[in-house]
Amino acid sequence: MTDDNAIPADAGVAGLRVFVTGGASGMGAAAVKDFARHGARVFSFDLNDAAGEEIVKAARAAACSPGSAEYLNCDVSDEASVQAAFAAAAGILGGLDVLIHAAGVAPGAPADQITLSGWEKVFAVNATGTFLANQAAFELMKDTGGRIINFASAAGIIGLPNKAHYSATKGAVLAWTRTVAKEWGRHGITVNCLAPAIETPMYLKTRSLMSEEALAQLDARMASDMPIDGKLGDPDRDLAPVLRFIAGPGSRFMTGQIFAVDGGIVMTR
Ligand SMILES: NC(=O)c1ccc[n+]([C@@H]2O[C@H](COP(=O)([O-])OP(=O)(O)OC[C@H]3O[C@@H](n4cnc5c(N)ncnc54)[C@H](O)[C@@H]3O)[C@@H](O)[C@H]2O)c1
């Protein structure tokens, strides 16, 4: 059955105006390159200017018309910084269709040793950053509709030892996502989040801080609990295509969801 308003599901992301926070590294960087390669007009935001510029340079080199990629410094935990960066980018692109909000930090510490300042710092980036970036995107999308994709984590669902503060921020991202999905649906905006298990600099840093024994336990657990591959996925192969689907017309009827892109880890619990 068809309907007059149906957008062809194969329309893809070409021509869409896409903001990517955390675009200098990991999954954000993969999104910047992949979306430009598929014809989207991308703005990347990060604190790491050197890496951010490098990524958009690579994205421009591989872009397909009308794809483009630009970079702006933006601290997602700072309201003025988010407002200024989003306004500047929307001014250049003429609006916003998709926000991919990948900026985040993942410090580790045993729960009883987390300091108040450590707690506040990870909440400022992961939870407040989601709130600020989503609100700023809403202002740009509320009359036209759009897609917001946040990054939660399995940590926010099943917990993650040594990362209680990080896990708590991801629980907040999940609850925020579901709530604004309910509020903003009438504006034609879908809001979803991911629970990825993807090899990125964040994951490699976490591994580098683990003892040999803890690493062996982690690898054994992944081998037994992850039905696909038994190890973390690749950002370009396993994550970017999922982002493109959620950002594109084919996902218009899906909102408030948490998509586990994790080889099946969460499903097995
Ligand atoms: N890698 C995984 O398997 C995994 C699992 C679960 C959740 N996540 C989440 O996915 C998202 C992306 O993670 P990744 O693995 O690609 O990490 P990453 O460390 O490779 O990239 C994160 C980026 O965010 C940027 N950033 C940090 N603080 C910022 C701020 N205040 N303002 C703007 N940019 C800032 C960093 O500079 C970096 O470029 C994060 O929210 C992370 O918590 C990752």
Q: Return the residue whose CA atom lies nearest to atom 32 of ligand 1.
A: 75
* DSSP string covering 208-263: HTS-HHHHHHHHHHHHHH-SSTTS-B-IIIIIHHHHHHHHSGGGTT--S-EEEEST
The confidence score (pLDDT) of residue 5 equals 41
Residue of 43, 166, 176, 184 marked catalytic: 166
Q: Return the residue whose CA atom lies nearest to atom 20 of ligand 1.
A: 26
Pocket around ligand 1: residues whose beta carbon is below 6 Å from it? 21-22, 24-28, 46-48, 74-77, 102-106, 125, 129, 151, 153, 196-198, 200-203, 232
Ligand 1 centroid vs 27 CA: distance in angstroms?
Answer: 7
H/E/C letters for each residue in 100-150? EECCCCCCCECHHHCCHHHHHHHHHHHHHHHHHHHHHHHHHHCCCCEEEEE
CA distance 186 to 191: 12
- Domains belonging to the chain, first-starting first, are 11-268 (3.40.50.720)
Atom of ligand 1 nearest to the CA of 77: 31
Name beta bridge partners: 99. 19, 148
Ligand 1 centroid vs 1 CA: distance in angstroms?
Answer: 41
CA distance 252 to 189: 9
Q: Are 12 and 244 in contact (CB under 8 A)?
A: yes
Atom of ligand 1 nearest to the CA of 104: 41
Per the structure block, which two tokens stand in for 254?
């899906």
Task: Find all residues with CB under 8 Å of 64, minimum gap 6, and list them.
Answer: 14, 36, 37, 38, 39
The confidence score (pLDDT) of residue 88 equals 98
Ligand 1 centroid vs 220 CA: distance in angstroms?
Answer: 25
Per the structure block, which two tokens stand in for 200?
């990125």
Tell me the best of 19, 21, 25 to mutate to test the pocket of ligand 1, counting ligand atoms within 8 Å of each CB and taking the most. 25
Ligand 1 centroid vs 8 CA: distance in angstroms?
Answer: 32
CA distance 256 to 87: 26
User: Buried b vs exposed e over 236-265: b needs ≥16 C-beta within 10 Å?
Assistant: bebbbebbbbbbbbbbeeebbbbbbbbbeb
The confidence score (pLDDT) of residue 269 equals 57
The confidence score (pLDDT) of residue 268 equals 65
The confidence score (pLDDT) of residue 7 equals 41
From first to last of its 269 residues, the chain has per-residue pLDDT tens of 444 444 444 569 999 999 999 999 999 999 999 999 999 999 999 999 999 999 999 999 999 999 999 999 999 999 999 999 999 999 999 999 999 999 999 999 999 999 999 999 999 999 999 999 999 999 999 999 999 999 999 999 999 999 999 999 999 999 999 999 999 999 999 999 999 999 999 999 989 988 999 899 999 999 999 999 999 999 999 999 999 999 999 999 999 999 999 999 988 65
Q: What are phi and psi of 57, to 5 degrees?
A: -65, -45
Atom of ligand 1 nearest to the CA of 203: 1
CA distance 133 to 21: 8
Tell me if residue 71 is catalytic. no
What is the residue type of 14?
A
Atom of ligand 1 nearest to the CA of 105: 27
Ligand 1 centroid vs 102 CA: distance in angstroms?
Answer: 6
